[in-house]
Amino acid sequence: MNYRHSFHAGNSADVVKHCLLIALVGALQEKPSALTLIDTHAGCGLYDLSGDEARRTGEANAGVLRAFADASPLLDDYRAAVRAVNDAAEPQLYPGSPHILAQLLREQDGLILNEKHPEDARFLRGAMRGMPAAIHERDAYELWLALLPTRSPRGVVLVDPPYEQTDERARITATLAAAHRKWAHGVTVIWYPLKDRSVHEDWKRKLARLGIPKFLSVEHWLYDADQPGIYNGAGLFIINPPYAFTQALPPRLEALRAALAPEGHRGEITADWVSK
């Protein structure tokens, strides 16, 4: 899978990922103790929706623009995060996860970003200028383990790889197992594309065998039947989601499904425990 996020910024996967990430961090911030937020595959940080790459795919039309046209108040926090980097009513820029996480920081929280690709790392530094973030250019999986346990009592690790390498899922599985041994109570969020259902189910079975408690899978399937060989949606694995987040999840997921359903399809978005 060849994936440069400038082609896909603001698509339906971004809407689901960022809406749920905002809700997750918000639930954790109901307690005053400090959070360390870590993004292992940070990307460029900010994306131009009017640029050649984004216009070539037009994926924002079925993502962030649908979310902006929707009336559900459950998407208000997400829309506010996008508006924060835009002057116009309709978004021209799209904030990546680094920008969104930076917006959520309290005085006691910290943000660590990592982007191995040199050109993207340069753009990331420019996009995050003036914001309280430490930026690294390291192998994502090495950094993931090296920074655990976090300096603060609590933290969130976001793992959002491009899935360009054939061993990406194997590296995530191995690193997650090692990370859980070092940091069993920490919150980890892993984004993944949904393309081939059988491949995904096989990976999920391998992850289940790790025996990690409180392992939630959120899956957003765009179409009413699988479309062979194409992108069918995306999901998140969330380890140790807080109670306040999971309790508020069903209506938020329904709001996302309704806002993002392609014309002629109802779509489906589910939350199930891989293990509990």
Tell me the catalytic residues: 160
SS3 letters for 117-153?
CHHHHHHHHHHCCCCCCEEECCCHHHHHHHCCCCCCC
Element (H, E) at 194: strand 187-194
Give just the sign of the alpha carbon dihedral 100, 10, 191, 42. negative
Q: In which residue are the tokens 């920081």 written? A: 105
Which contacts of 18-21 are long-range, i.e. CB under 8 A and separated by 24 or more positions? Answer: 18/78, 18/81, 18/95, 18/97, 18/100, 19/67, 19/75, 19/77, 19/78, 19/252, 19/256, 20/218, 20/236, 20/238, 20/252, 21/97, 21/100, 21/101, 21/158, 21/189
